[in-house]
Structure 1
């Protein structure tokens, strides 16, 4: 039974919030000041701390520093100022969620309902951090290096909470597997886990994909569509490549995160949603903010608990561990018993693995196909692209950035012999993002030719690698 501590200087607020918490099966303690709250913390640490920010004797979030085990308490800030600045400040000071006065009863109930059977969840995580970690595993992730052990510690601490997580790592480091592991170790594990790649959906469709649309809301909307936020209600939503999201949509996403509600395209009727947000990016978000491509307020709203995934080149013997894991998988699938030669293992350590675990997995599969009983690897990666005078393009100062992007993309595609996967690697973007760009360029060209904007099309993204972090996706 979760224990809740409610801190507010209003007797009326304390009264009705206590009734709601007790109705949800929680034990409740109340305090009307920081001093009284400290007394309650000494008596029993709560699973949920609901505290007003402005108290007679100070800031209620000062209590975060006095929690004996902060990772085991969900801190919800209560504020009377629904500004972005106040929310960002609350998150910086340690809150994992917030409520704006007048408090929405349904949102308060949603926060209380998502409290786990604490003992059961902690036992499961403790088991993973113990026995499974000895084998180099944690959830869907595989690796025994110090860098991965540090990652496991962070994931284990944040998984049971409702804190928003920002996963930062190069392409192929396993960000989606880390997100799935967070979901599987959370109180939301019996609810949906959905992932949406913000760089793989055309700008014309991404709002509809996230929030849904009503029939007839735009040309081609011949039926009602339920978006990701609605389908993921109660569960976890991963926004992959979040820094690729159009700026105008970032404003709407921020509003959803602030209010917990949204409207489908084509209607003003608000729909409440209870979704844990996990965002991921293969770029430095601070750089995206500095370049004006990512809103600073949204960055702070998502950056509650940042987690950096280490590149494969920093994971030491994990290279051999992962390669053997992938080879074992292939042997099981094909009914073979192939093995690496010592020379093949040595060559694996000589490569930089710019594509990280995904590149390693693809390489092992190629080597497996080309070998007999002993897997040899003559070259761990594709040969580098030759460069020369023809690899330079001239761009006039003042050229719009979208045109610069287009010209560089198309020139690189031509230089790579129209091989899209190689083009994406050279540009440092995902293959899905490249497909999305090419579709947008094609639509613009069609508009120039006939003067009429084409209907939005949603090109199915290319097949996604099943494994980017050493595990296997669950469906």
Structure 2
């Protein structure tokens, strides 16, 4: 039977918590000081320790000074308020989660349902690490390069905790796969994993999609709708392209992260949520803040544990492994196995992959379809040209460079940006809006790459979905303009 130890100097609070835990079928012991806690830990190692940091004879964190004392116990902090500092402290100390006073029964049940002995979790990570050399993968991630092994170490460190993770990296590097791997290694693995692309949802609908809405809350709301927070209850909610979320909605998301409560559109009563948030962006977070795409307070709240994914060009040694993996999966789907020639693998490993792993997967699929025999040669594979390298993280580093003209031409209508000054550059007159400048850069980059949308998206540091959304909006605006 699972055994829990409550360490709290508030006798009444500890007694109430003890009764709630006992109702869930666990055995419970209480300690009201560090001294009592050490005695209880020595008598019977608990599966779960609920630890208040403020104790009469010291801080609860003092228990972590002896690593053997809590070696076989999960630790959940009890805090009077949720804060970024508490989350960071929980991670640093080795705690897996925290509860906010007054203790909510739903959150407590969630914590109790996720109890896994640390030894079990460590064994799972050890198996994945041990098999990495032979299998070439860690969870759903593939690659043996030092850059990826660093990512695996970070995943192993954070997966077992309940803290928020912020994944950064260029488009196509596999941010959602990292989030899925974290979820599958976490204590929430039996509950839903829900991935949401914030850039693929209409700004008019995104609040309703994330938080849900009540029947009759707006035109067309003919029934109650559960949002992502409700559908991912007890599990993990992955918010991809978080910088595409409207600023007013970022404020509401921050409130949910701080209070654990959300409000459906049209509702008057808030609801509690027990969801782990993993966010991602293909922008530099600080640059996104500077450009107004991400609130600074939300950035710090999300960035408790950052993971930065390397672009594929920085781990080209993984390309043959990834290509063979994609080819095997395609062969299983199509019912016919094919293989790469040595020359083909060499060409794949020499290419810079501006679209990263996503571009590699698409290139392998195309080569599989075009190859008439069972061996894929170099004919249908991408190869390096003489154009400059394409860094895809930040728009300001893309190969289309903006040159500022001295003034807006009085002949130029508002909303229009004229002319490419030379190949690979575009002129942006002073006084135009950021939206106009963005449109000019996107359209010029698209033309620069011969209307190849994947390369364009990679160069601009945005997802393919975001690029399609932008182009669709520009076409709509063009169509609605004066004839």
What is the TM-score when the length of structure 2 is the normalising length?
A: 0.80
Q: Which moved more, 1:218-227 or 1:27-36?
A: 27-36
For residue 22 of structure 2, what is the aligned residue in structure 1? Answer: 22
- How far, CA to CA, are the matches of 1:127 and 1:149 in structure 2? 14
Within a 5 Å distance, the mapping from 1:178-217 to structure 2 comes to 178-217=178-217
- How far, CA to CA, are the matches of 1:137 and 1:279 in structure 2? 23
For residue 263 of structure 2, what is the aligned residue in structure 1? Answer: 263
Structure 1 residue 212: deviation in Å? Answer: 0.8
- How far, CA to CA, are the matches of 1:176 and 1:216 in structure 2? 34
Within a 5 Å distance, the mapping from 1:53-92 to structure 2 comes to 53-64=53-64, 66-68=66-68, 74-81=74-81, 84=83, 87=86, 90=89
- How far, CA to CA, are the matches of 1:166 and 1:152 in structure 2? 15
Secondary structure of residue in 2 paired with 1:395? strand
RMSD: 3.4
Contact 2:213 2:265 in 1 (8 A): yes
- How far, CA to CA, are the matches of 2:129 and 2:480 in structure 1? 56
- How far, CA to CA, are the matches of 1:403 and 1:38 in structure 2? 64
Within a 5 Å distance, the mapping from 1:430-441 to structure 2 comes to 430-441=463-474
Secondary structure of residue in 2 paired with 1:9? coil
Structure 1 residue 105: deviation in Å? Answer: 3.1
Contact 1:192 1:233 in 2 (8 A): yes
Secondary structure of residue in 2 paired with 1:166? strand
Structure 1 residue 12: deviation in Å? Answer: 0.9
For residue 423 of structure 1, what is the aligned residue in structure 2? Answer: 456
Q: Which moved more, 1:58-67 or 1:249-258?
A: 58-67
- How far, CA to CA, are the matches of 2:224 and 2:306 in structure 1? 36
List per-residue Cα deviations over 1:312-362 (Å, max 9, x = no partner): 334353211111222223333344443322222222221222322212111
For residue 321 of structure 1, what is the aligned residue in structure 2? Answer: 321
Secondary structure of residue in 1 paired with 2:98? strand
Task: State which of 382, 403, 409 in structure 2 corresponds to 1:380.
Answer: 382
Structure 1 residues 433 and 161: CA distance shift in structure 2, 3 A: same
Structure 2 segments unaligned to the other structure (5+ residues): 389-398, 401-420
Report the structure number with the largest CA radius of gyration.
2
- How far, CA to CA, are the matches of 1:58 and 1:443 in structure 2? 64
For residue 174 of structure 1, what is the aligned residue in structure 2? Answer: 174
Structure 1 residues 317 and 415: CA distance shift in structure 2, 3 A: closer
Structure 1 residue 190: deviation in Å? Answer: 2.8
Structure number with greater CO (CA < 8 Å, separation at least 6) is: 1
For residue 370 of structure 1, what is the aligned residue in structure 2? Answer: 370
Structure 1 residues 46 and 238: CA distance shift in structure 2, 3 A: farther
Secondary structure of residue in 1 paired with 2:111? helix
Q: Which moved more, 1:304-313 or 1:230-239?
A: 304-313
For residue 395 of structure 1, what is the aligned residue in structure 2? Answer: 428
Contact 2:192 2:236 in 1 (8 A): yes
What is the TM-score when the length of structure 1 is the normalising length?
A: 0.82
For residue 460 of structure 1, what is the aligned residue in structure 2? Answer: none
Structure 1 residues 321 and 210: CA distance shift in structure 2, 3 A: same
Structure 1 residue 265: deviation in Å? Answer: 0.5
- How far, CA to CA, are the matches of 1:155 and 1:89 in structure 2? 16
Answer yes or no: is 1:141 the counterpart of 2:141: yes
For residue 220 of structure 1, what is the aligned residue in structure 2? Answer: 220
Structure 1 residues 204 and 165: CA distance shift in structure 2, 3 A: same
- How far, CA to CA, are the matches of 2:446 and 2:71 in structure 1? 47
Contact 2:97 2:161 in 1 (8 A): no
- How far, CA to CA, are the matches of 1:74 and 1:292 in structure 2? 40
List per-residue Cα deviations over 1:346-400 (Å, max 9, x = no partner): 2222122232221211122222233333322255357548977054333344544
- How far, CA to CA, are the matches of 1:34 and 1:442 in structure 2? 66
- How far, CA to CA, are the matches of 1:266 and 1:186 in structure 2? 34
Q: Which moved more, 1:14-23 or 1:184-193?
A: 184-193
For residue 52 of structure 2, what is the aligned residue in structure 1? Answer: 52
Within a 5 Å distance, the mapping from 1:290-329 to structure 2 comes to 290-329=290-329
- How far, CA to CA, are the matches of 2:70 and 2:475 in structure 1? 52
For residue 468 of structure 1, what is the aligned residue in structure 2? Answer: none
For residue 467 of structure 1, what is the aligned residue in structure 2? Answer: none
Structure 1 residue 228: deviation in Å? Answer: 0.8
Structure 1 segments unaligned to the other structure (5+ residues): 451-475
Aligned residues: 449
- How far, CA to CA, are the matches of 1:194 and 1:12 in structure 2? 39
Secondary structure of residue in 2 paired with 1:6? strand
- How far, CA to CA, are the matches of 2:70 and 2:147 in structure 1? 23
Structure 1 residues 411 and 352: CA distance shift in structure 2, 3 A: closer
Within a 5 Å distance, the mapping from 1:275-354 to structure 2 comes to 275-354=275-354
For residue 439 of structure 2, what is the aligned residue in structure 1? Answer: 406
Structure 1 residue 429: deviation in Å? Answer: 0.5
Within a 5 Å distance, the mapping from 1:437-456 to structure 2 comes to 437-441=470-474
List per-residue Cα deviations over 1:35-90 (Å, max 9, x = no partner): 444555555665444333333344434544544498975543333356x4654664
Contact 1:71 1:157 in 2 (8 A): no
For residue 395 of structure 2, what is the aligned residue in structure 1? Answer: none
Secondary structure of residue in 1 paired with 2:294? coil
Contact 1:165 1:304 in 2 (8 A): yes
Secondary structure of residue in 2 paired with 1:102? coil
